[in-house]
Amino acid sequence: MIEPGEKQAVISGIGQSKIGRRLGRDGLSLSADAISAALDNAGLSPKDIDGLASWPGYMAEAPGFSPVTIGDVKEAFGFELNWYNAGPEASQLSQLINAAMAVATGQARHVVCFRTMIEATAMVSGERSSVITRGDARVGGLFQWQVPFGSVSASNWIGVIAQRYMYEFGKTRADLAPIALNARANGELNPKAVYRTPLTFDDYMAARLISTPLCLYDCDVPIDGATALIVSHRDVARDLKAKPIRIEAISGPLIGRDSWDQQPDPTRFINEAAAARMWSRTDLKPEDVDIAELYDGFSFLTVLWLEALGFCGRGEGMDFIAGGARIARDGELPLNTNGGQLSAGRTHGLGLVYEAVEQLRGVSGVRQVAGDPAVAVVANGGGNIASAMLLVRD
């Protein structure tokens, strides 16, 4: 069998800008802060970088969702790029998959990957990137099957799925609470988290409903901020400043329907294929995982990821999280240890990778998971877009 190429790739440096609500800064300067920090973390200079990748690439139609181009960053740093790539028709971690393939095939040696959002600032001017419709403009593609009926936000698409799931497995929204409560408990210890004040079960149950059964605390929080990671070939990362973290396995498939409402089983999504593909590329098993950083753009997706990745059986996700002890920082599977996107902010994918790398390096300070964690799983998306990755510290 051909060795999966991503095993030649490591994350050699990580950086993050200030993360906050309405920082009032432009996307390029936040990106530059994150990338400078990642270069410094790895001990690399701009002239070492020969690859650049992002997802989804610049999106003019979605205010604040992805405001920076590859070209903007290249010009700001003077990178000389042997290879670059960004584009929206891919899964959230596609930039890491592409970067890993680029270093494995010799297209590049050190690839900067970045993800920048200024959604919080965009909302000040009345624009909400997550709502799919603009005045009288007509909609095409997948959105035409949702938007005419007022199903304009992912909270609507996922609300329908969560409602069905709870019906099938006899659960209520109280059973979903541990995801948000766990995120907040971890966020309290993260100085960068947007929300750090304690959240109780009663607060959760009293929260404003967004799209049943999802309430305010089941939805992540738009922020301004940028995250950067440097993916390097393992052979050129040995002497760098920080401990390299190896990409053991990574996957971003599109197996099943490219749709929110036409999956053969209405509550099973592409994340099952992403998890299965990821496990097929490694000898490691779910029981080898020390920490889990699983996408929580909506808390319900985190439950689906726990099942898809095999930490529990189908329909058992809400029993798995019940009481919260198992997923707590000192539990058997510490989950979303930075507060997740629910409390730390919607850094959209790379923020969870950043946290996994810090935990595996043992530099997470007061929120460091005990026991010297060496294997982390990171998952992103969960509906018709999903990717999963296993990171290892040797």
Partner 1 sequence: MSEVTMALPRLDDVNRFFWQSGQDGKLRFQRCESCATWRHPPTVRCPRCGADSLAPTAVEGAGTVISYTINHQAWLPGMVVPYTIILVEFDDAPGVRLTSNFTDPAVEAHIGQKVRVEFQQREDVWLPRFAPIEEHAA
**Which token pair is 355?**
């946290």
List the interface residues with partner 1, window 184-223 (CB under 8 A): 208-214
User: What is the residue-wise DSSP string for 333-393?
Assistant: S-B-TT-IIIII---TTHHHHHHHHHHHHT--GGGPPSS---EEEEEEE-SSSEEEEEEE-
Determine, following the binding rule CB under 8 A, whether residue 164 of this chain makes contact with partner 1.
Answer: yes
Determine, following the binding rule CB under 8 A, whether residue 268 of this chain makes contact with partner 1.
Answer: no
Q: Give the nearest distance from C-beta 163 to partner 1 in angstroms.
A: 5
**Which token pair is 15?**
């950086």
Nearer to partner 1, 128 or 196 (CB): 128
Nearer to partner 1, 78 or 150 (CB): 150
List the interface residues with partner 1, window 42-61 (CB under 8 A): none
Residue 210, CA distances (Å) to 47, 127, 202, 329 in order: 47, 18, 17, 28
Total interface residues for partner 1 by CB under 8 A: 44
Nearer to partner 1, 210 or 254 (CB): 210
Nearer to partner 1, 69 or 212 (CB): 212
Q: Which stretch binds partner 1 (CB under 8 A): 65-73, 154-162, 174-182, 306-314?
A: 154-162
Among 144, 172, 200, 280, binds partner 1 (CB under 8 A): 144
**Coil/strand/helix, residue 96:** helix
Q: Which residues contact 213 (CB under 8 A, 6 or more apart)?
A: 159, 162, 163, 166, 172, 173, 176
Separation between Cα atoms, residue 279 and residue 118, nearest integer Å: 34
Q: Give the nearest distance from C-beta 298 to partner 1 in angstroms.
A: 12
Determine, following the binding rule CB under 8 A, whether residue 150 of this chain makes contact with partner 1.
Answer: yes
Residue 147, CA distances (Å) to 222, 259, 287 in order: 21, 14, 41
Element (H, E) at 12: strand 9-16
Separation between Cα atoms, residue 345 and residue 221, nearest integer Å: 5
Q: Give the nearest distance from C-beta 209 to partner 1 in angstroms.
A: 5
Q: Give the nearest distance from C-beta 173 to partner 1 in angstroms.
A: 12
**Which token pair is 242?**
């920080």
Report residue 358 CA to chain centroid gap.
15
Nearer to partner 1, 142 or 284 (CB): 142
List the interface residues with partner 1, window 304-323 (CB under 8 A): none
Among 266, 286, 310, 324, binds partner 1 (CB under 8 A): 266
Determine, following the binding rule CB under 8 A, whether residue 78 of this chain makes contact with partner 1.
Answer: no
Binding site for partner 1 (CB under 8 A): 126, 128, 131, 133-140, 142, 144-153, 155-156, 159-164, 167, 208-214, 259-262, 264, 266
